[in-house]
Structure 1
């Protein structure tokens, strides 16, 4: 067996061993919907009924979440009557992990029967029509990470060698979210307005420069962040349907930049949580 095939075999074993461990902790739960919660959005995991908590450090081959605002565990239980599996915290390229490590949880969830993923993130707004605190449905993405979790030998038991990405962000799921948002009221009593647009995924961990923001805008990006893209590629590879939701925590308009910290990002995400949680709960109930 050559080196590439050995690495593929080892990665497949890691997926199976991690899935087997999580399965041993599920009890009667059979999760069909998975949720990946970004910075400042993890509180939804605290609303799961009869929850089973599995810290990442207990799961074979799992990396550890090192970012503030990421609890670093699976939460499994009932949400709106559905068996769900929530990632309270994710892994990022900028933490030093490989793309294969970053998407390991996606493949584990798929192995456990999860067919739909709600993938969320905190991001910077590039579209001048957006405002800090907006929620945006992701319609498509631009991959500026310079990498892909599918580089290397392909495991045909997971997905095809060249997965189609033309509908990586499920159109029917977006339409459902838009309909549901009409029945969700904001703090001022008005219906929840969902933006829609393209997510640009970068490596981080620095926030982009003014020139980089200009470039991203010219290339068609509406928001920019440091996650999500690899997970969506893996989900598409595994045949999962994806709803992507970005929380705009700051405006990254090139000519109006001000210093930004992670604490500010989490603060705005916290303020946005009530409408975010209402939308996700409604989506889980109806999907």
Structure 2
């Protein structure tokens, strides 16, 4: 893997005017933050060595280099998922590359199903912890000590100081935020009612099909992490609990301006 990381990094560096400090991963329907990036260069995933192509609707499949609120950033407009048939190493490969490019902090967004009865469609939830129910682990296999430790500490995967900064930013703007636990599952099916109940019982507030593998690799790499979910559907409904991907994208689009504002201001304060 180090060879592949180096090859991808060297290719991207040809287009980078400066080393990025912050990495950003944009989830389903949440790509408009890319429009806030100035002095930017866009690279298709298809052109980057060892990057898989993005195949999911709502994920444009571009790596963007530039500046956000004055800070050099690298942003993924579209991410990879285990359910696409990729290995966990492929899913998390871009995190390794962003680390090699120079980032010290990773900001992640996603669309998630709400299980907390206080949540409504369109709400924002800062992830303060997660439960990993995905069937494969991105660190499985022989560990490369040059990338990170064999047994990384996951007691604080989401940096508390970044959570506090985001809460202050939102409060000053009058944006309502929740905090909660994100449950990571494989997908691509949405959950049954019994599965939603089970995941809520074990401590989950929201559920989605991404983020957790990326966070594990980010912590393994020594990065600080902040993550936020847009609640795009409610799994706690007893009736009319039919969920479509189109509805998820529409809910994410409606909530996106607030998420974009928080990310933009948070980047400035890093």
Q: TM-score normalized by structure 1? A: 0.93
4+ residue segments displaced more than 4 Å: none
Alignment pair present for 1:258 and 2:241? yes
In the aligned structure 1, how far is the partner of 2:14 from the partner of 2:142? 29
Structure 2 residue aligned with 1:43: 32
Candidates 52, 58, 64, aligned match of 1:75:
64
Structure 1 residue aligned with 2:152: 163
- How far the C-alpha of 1:263 sits from its partner, in A, is 0.5
- RMSD (Å) for aligned C-alpha atoms: 0.8
Q: 1:65 touches 1:71 (CA, 8 Å); kept in 2?
A: yes
- How far the C-alpha of 1:256 sits from its partner, in A, is 3.5
- How far the C-alpha of 1:165 sits from its partner, in A, is 0.4
Structure 1 residue aligned with 2:218: 235
- How far the C-alpha of 1:255 sits from its partner, in A, is 2.5
- How far the C-alpha of 1:36 sits from its partner, in A, is 0.1
Q: 1:210 touches 1:257 (CA, 8 Å); kept in 2?
A: no
Query: For residues 37-94 of structure 1, what are the alpha-carbon distances to aligned partners after superposition, in whole Å with 9 as ceiling and x for unaligned?
Result: 0011101112211111011000001101101110101111011000000000000001
Query: For residues 229-265 of structure 1, what are the alpha-carbon distances to aligned partners after superposition, in whole Å with 9 as ceiling and x for unaligned?
Result: 0000000000000001000001111523521110000
| 1:104-183 correspondence to structure 2 within 5 Å | 104-183=93-172
Q: What's the secondary structure of 1:183's corresponding residue?
A: helix
In the aligned structure 2, how far is the partner of 1:276 from the partner of 1:257? 27
Q: 1:106 touches 1:234 (CA, 8 Å); kept in 2?
A: yes
Structure 2 residue aligned with 1:284: 267
Structure 1 residue aligned with 2:177: 194
Candidates 4, 8, 12, aligned match of 1:22:
12
Q: 1:39 touches 1:69 (CA, 8 Å); kept in 2?
A: yes
In the aligned structure 2, how far is the partner of 1:64 from the partner of 1:228? 18
Q: Which runs of 5+ in 1 are unaligned?
A: 1-10, 185-190
Q: Which runs of 5+ in 2 are unaligned?
A: none
Q: Indicate the structure (1 or 2) with the bigger Cα radius of gyration.
A: 1
Q: 1:211 touches 1:254 (CA, 8 Å); kept in 2?
A: no
Q: TM-score normalized by structure 2? A: 0.98
Q: What's the secondary structure of 2:145's corresponding residue?
A: coil
In the aligned structure 1, how far is the partner of 2:186 from the partner of 2:22? 27
How many residues are treated as equivalent by the alignment? 270
Query: For residues 148-178 of structure 1, what are the alpha-carbon distances to aligned partners after superposition, in whole Å with 9 as ceiling and x for unaligned?
Result: 1100011111110000000110000000100
Q: 1:136 touches 1:197 (CA, 8 Å); kept in 2?
A: yes
